[in-house]
Amino acid sequence: MRPMLLLALTIALVACVAPLLSIYGQHIFVLVALYGSVALAWNILGGMAGQMSLGHALFVGAGAYVSTALYLKLGVNPWIGLLLAALVGGALGAVLGYTVFRRKLSGVYFALVTLAVAEMALHIVSNVAVFGAANGLAIPSKPDFANFQFSSKLGFCYAALGVLALVSAVILGIHRSRLGYVFLAIRENERSAAALGIDVVQGKVIAAAISGSLAALVGPIYANYVLFIDPESVLGVTLSIDALLFSFVGGLGSLFGPLLGAVVLVPLTELLRSLLGGRLAGVHLIVYGVMLILVMRLAPQGLWGLLSDAVGRRSK
């Protein structure tokens, strides 16, 4: 239980810091926590179980659209929407995982299937009136706790931190459980895992379901924070690549490397944006691309690996 205690203390500490930040600082805080959560969720499937997805926007988008459409069209409370989002994300992950992994497709085939499914979802949503088609859905601003809208940014800080804490707790829970070892065995060598009696397909499907469910939780919070969603922002391939990128830069093999990736890269993005203003829109993505290649070449363990190496050397 010690890691859980450490997690709780860290979250409490971070929660105490949030009120001290400026409004802009709190905005970055929310973004880091949300992107960090998506990256951590991605890493359960991509890093822990070793199945690389190029379509995690599918889950975030599904979560955002489920809760927002239900709230706007049927008046379903967003808190219930949040729960439904997680269920839909988990179901999508399980169905997608089952159809792909049962056919022994992995590696680049899984990456292509996830990419194609997410792109198809984007085009479907862009044509469906209930989802606002290509124009997106705007949520009227009614700040109220019951509405899952908060009058201050601090409220959203805590909501985003809550999801981050949940995702982190799930990861810690998996890590030292039987499931964690199943994921590890599948990642390292599928055949040996199967020879040991591990149900490889089942293990991957579980990883996809957990990963999809947690990623979907981020959708409704993002939607209520920005009060607007459209297909490109929550279902676009950019978001899918962000999740992968934060994980790789932060450190694929580690538990919390993806969060570190978000902690470093999200503020960097915002910094570049404010420095360059509206001009040169793609500069931060060039930086991402360069970092991705450099990390792959020079430090395959990512920033987390570099950091833990440095700490290890210091303590010797």
Give the footprint of another protein on this chain (CB under 8 A): 52, 99-100, 103, 105, 107-109, 111-113, 115-117, 119-120, 123-124, 126-127, 237, 241, 244, 248, 252, 280-283, 285-286, 288-293, 296-297, 300
Q: How far apart are CA 204 and CA 44, in angstroms?
A: 10
Q: Retrieve residue 16's tokens.
A: 């105490």
Residue 99 vs 192, nearer CB to another protein: 99
Among 145, 151, 147, which residue's Cα sits nearest to residue 72?
147
Residue 101 vs 156, nearer CB to another protein: 101
Burial class (CB in 10 A: 0-12, 13-18, 19+), 158: middle
Residue 81 vs 257, nearer CB to another protein: 257
Nearest approach in angstroms of CB 316 to another protein is 29
Q: Within its chain, how far is the Cα of 276 from the centroid?
A: 27
Residue 83 vs 112, nearer CB to another protein: 112
Nearest approach in angstroms of CB 273 to another protein is 13
Nearest approach in angstroms of CB 283 to another protein is 6
Nearest approach in angstroms of CB 257 to another protein is 14
Q: CB within 8 A of 113, min separation 6: which ones?
A: 55, 96, 100, 105
Contact 50, 187 (CB under 8 A): yes
Nearest approach in angstroms of CB 105 to another protein is 6
Residue 155 vs 231, nearer CB to another protein: 231
Which residues on neighbouring strands pair with residue 229, listed in sequence order? 137
